Amino acid sequence: MTEPRPRPPVDDAELLVRAQRIAGRSVVQVAERFGLPVPPNLRANKGWLGQLVEYALGASAASRAEPDFPHLGIELKTVPVDSMARPRESTYVCVAPLDGGLASTWEESWCRRKLDRVLFLPVVGDGPLATRVLGAALLWAPSEEERGRLQADWEEITERVVRGDLEGLDARVGEILQLRPKGATARDTTWTLDADAQWVQTMPRGFYLRRAFTAGLLQRAFGVASMS
């Protein structure tokens, strides 16, 4: 008994109901519902889990530079967590335009659009993929303060890119948003303007949310009160 691919949810409520339906279930349970085989691990297929959840919740399949649910303005992110809902990894946001960028302001950046509203779907466990369990979803939107911090980080990083200062721009820049390599290998290249305004090849990079930041979000939503 396998179900067909769900259509896109019509509103927030329908999306949330679908998320609740898979919460508490294992990866193999969700996959079997749609007749999808579960790979033994994610090593050779790192995006598989994210794609399974997209499928189950009715996100569009195509790879496009817009949120997973364009009509709702919601981006979907799975996040691997331990039993205390602490993330094991940072969260990829989007690629960073290094070509001098037409998107020169935070307001019109892909980054802001992706982070406007995010449905975080925790996946609990680090054992065999099939046995990991989907957690309760968190529909998050940045607070006033968080938006300010995201914008400040984005602007600092973008300023350096525009100045052609990629050498001094590593993953240490940014309090909650950071820039890291994003390609198949370190030999992958894209074009950028260096400090002398010359076109040079460099590694493609992407924006990521630091682990400590997403940890804070999940802790506030799901965490138990701390003694300290």
Which x/- pattern over 121-160 shows residues binding DNA (rule: CB under 7 A)?
--x-------------------------------------
Footprint of DNA on 97-116 (CB under 7 A): 97, 99, 110, 114
* Contact call for residue 42 and DNA (CB under 7 A): yes
Nearest-angstrom CA–CA distance, 204 and 213: 23
Q: Which is nearer to DNA, 1 or 46 (CB)?
A: 46
Residue with the two structure tokens 């894209």: 190
Nearest-angstrom CA–CA distance, 143 and 176: 14
Q: Which is nearer to DNA, 2 or 185 (CB)?
A: 185
Q: Which is nearer to DNA, 74 or 151 (CB)?
A: 74
Please report, for residues 26, 76, 121, 138, 139, the alpha-carbon distance to residue 19 in angstroms, rounded to integers and kept in the order given: 13, 11, 8, 9, 10
Footprint of DNA on 155-214 (CB under 7 A): 170-172, 178, 180-191, 203-204, 206, 210-212
* Contact call for residue 76 and DNA (CB under 7 A): yes
The least CB distance from residue 197 to DNA, in Å, is 18
* Contact call for residue 79 and DNA (CB under 7 A): yes
Among residues 92, 146, 219, 222, which is the contact residue for DNA, using CB under 7 A? Answer: 92
The least CB distance from residue 115 to DNA, in Å, is 12
Taking contact as CB under 7 A, which single stretch among the options 18-26, 49-57, 146-154, 160-168 is the one that binds DNA?
Answer: 49-57
* Contact call for residue 94 and DNA (CB under 7 A): yes
* Contact call for residue 70 and DNA (CB under 7 A): no
Tokens standing for 32? Answer: 């079997």
Tokens standing for 152? Answer: 């400040």
Cβ of 82: how many Cβ atoms within 10 Å? 12
The least CB distance from residue 1 to DNA, in Å, is 25
Residues that bind DNA (CB under 7 A): 41-47, 49-51, 53-54, 62-65, 68, 75-80, 89-90, 92, 94-95, 97, 99, 110, 114, 123, 170-172, 178, 180-191, 203-204, 206, 210-212
